[in-house]
A and B are shown apart, each in its own frame.
Chain A
Amino acid sequence: MADSKSSQQIYDEFVKGVWKENPVFVQVLGMCPMLAVTNTAINALAMGGATLFVLLGSSVLVSLLRRFIPKQVRISTYILIIATFVTIVDFSLNAMAPVIHKELGAFIALIVVNCLILGRQEAFASRQPVHLAAADALGMGGGFTIALFCLGATREVLGFGELFGVPLFGEHFEPWVIMIMPPGGFIMLGLILLLLNWAQQRRGSRAATQAAGEQVSAHDALPIAPAHDSGHIEEVV
């Protein structure tokens, strides 16, 4: 009984990140890599994968060490832990996929300051057991990757006429140059958010609509602002 309850809990934490509190589409976090490196699907997947790995590693470690980290220096501790995993990703990508590493450039190193990751440490991993922290990290990282892929794929299709480098429309395709430039990222993200909000409204669930509205409007708050955990944060900060 207890086992099935805890597996239900793990599942809930996972789904929360992928869909209900999707870091990009609902919380609107991590906008810098979101807009900067999503001009092709493969870049988006690589960035999502790297972030997922860093998030998972640091969430598990922070959760394990949560009783030993002094409150006063917790943020710098989190940053150190995150930076460790970012360095691992940076060097491994450079060794295994130098082309992608070159494309992503500084944005790999910038994962350190991705507000999504620090936010999950502060709001979740530092106060939950390891298995839930891991589920949360997988969910959030997965949700982030999915969002990046949606954006990267649409931008690549319109901007290059290709998907994963495979031409889709033949040689006479007229590329939408704006889509591979930063403004295209903003426009496409806005359109996807529009579509998702519209779909949510259509589903008619009034409560869900309200929650999404609050979370979306909280997007320019500081790194640590997932709506449902914000109560705890305010106590601590």
Chain B
Amino acid sequence: MSRHESRLLVESGPFLRRELTTPGLMNEVTLALAPVILAAVWFFGIGALLIVIASVAGAVGTEWLFAPSRPRGASLRDGSAVLTGILLALTLPPAVPLWMAFVGGAVGVGLGKTVFGGLGQNLFNPALVGRAFLQAAFPTAMTTWSEPTGAGGLLSIRASNLALPLMSGTVDAVSTATPLGAMKFEHAETPISLLLRGDTAGSLGETSAIIIIVCGLVLALRGTFDWRIPLAMLLSVAVLAAVPWWIKPEAFPSPWFMLTSGGLLFGAVYMATDPVTSPTAPLGAWVFGLGIGLIVVLIRLWGGLAEGVMYAILLMNSAAPLIEQATQPRGFGRGRWAG
């Protein structure tokens, strides 16, 4: 029993390492959002960029002011506040006043994250908390959708964007229906080519399906997020939407319309995959994604709202700890029911 048995090298785990840090992860997602931001600017004009900046300013400012890190602002380095700001901005309608985007960013980080104790402690996706607050506080501004300006209006800024703080946007902002709204209230299905390209009314970042799919594939292949969650979400929406459509195609939207319209893809790729607010176990990820898909279909087909991705993700966020607990993988050598 020599203590110097040098042939046997004893090392402690982990033996497989991945050069992945929190800032690295956040920056990767932020980078993957760049094409989406560019698409938003392309379709809705430079005003989209201003909304992103306002929302990021609100999020970063709140993080700097309220996060209990020492020295002040140290927690900004993980990049999550910037990401929250961008994510929130991309879920806002193009005509939203800039000050509302700022308030949304501040509320998202303040009430969605720092009150719980900072990144990793929050129960709900901070960007969606900000959006849910805005939706409840300013229902009119948050449901005033405008047509894409197209290439000619690249430099255009909507007048209502520039409303003074606490004031409402100009009333003459022309409102139009999103593809989901048109489906729900006028029963008009937008052609799939438009939905894929993104030349439709909607939130800034959600319109162009093809860009989100490409970015999502890249992120999934790089292992930035758990691919099971978006896959489960999209699969469950496709299957659950296919059944009523197959039975009564004239009354229900087609599954591919359900998949490519609204915020489903954006939510699946960027929101539901938030590592803090989703289950980590593989089985849990499947359950989580299926649950979101189920709620989305229920709200869209039978609910009062045209779109339900935000509430679906927030609801499943609240169930995530429970799912996590119930789906912990069995430790090696443990009995099936022993826990």
Contacts and interface: CB of A to CB of B under 8 A. Distances in A.
A178 interface: yes
B167 A174 contact: yes
Contacts of B167: 169-170, 172-174
Contacts, number: 36
Q: Say which size band chain A's interface belongs to.
A: 10 to 19
Contacts of A174: 97, 100, 138, 140-141, 163, 166-169
A230 B163 CA distance: 53
Contacts of A172: 163-164, 167-168
A110 interface: no
A169 B139 contact: no
Contacts of A176: 137-138
Contacts of A187: 111
Contact of A177 (B136, B164, B166): B136
A173 B168 contact: yes
A194 B66 CA distance: 11
A132 interface: no
A172 B170 CA distance: 9
A174 B170 CA distance: 11
A169 B168 CA distance: 11
Interface in B158-201: 163-164, 166-169
Interface string B87-120: 0000000000100100000000001000100000
Interface in A171-205: 172-174, 176-179, 181, 183, 187, 190, 194
Contacts of A170: 167
Contacts of A177: 136-139
A224 B36 CA distance: 56
B168 A178 contact: no
B133 interface: yes
A119 B163 CA distance: 49
B138 A183 contact: no
Contacts of B97: 174
Contacts of B169: 174
A174 B97 CA distance: 10
A183 B136 contact: yes
Contacts of B100: 174
Nearest to B169: A174
10 contacts: A169-B166, A170-B167, A172-B167, A173-B166, A173-B168, A174-B97, A174-B169, A176-B138, A177-B138, A190-B115
Interface of A: 161, 169-170, 172-174, 176-179, 181, 183, 187, 190, 194
| 3 nearest A-B residue pairs (beta carbon) | A174-B168, A178-B136, A178-B137
Given A172-B164, A174-B167, 20 more contacts: A169-B166, A170-B167, A172-B163, A172-B167, A173-B166, A173-B167, A173-B168, A174-B97, A174-B168, A174-B169, A176-B137, A176-B138, A177-B136, A177-B137, A178-B133, A178-B136, A181-B136, A183-B136, A190-B115, A194-B115
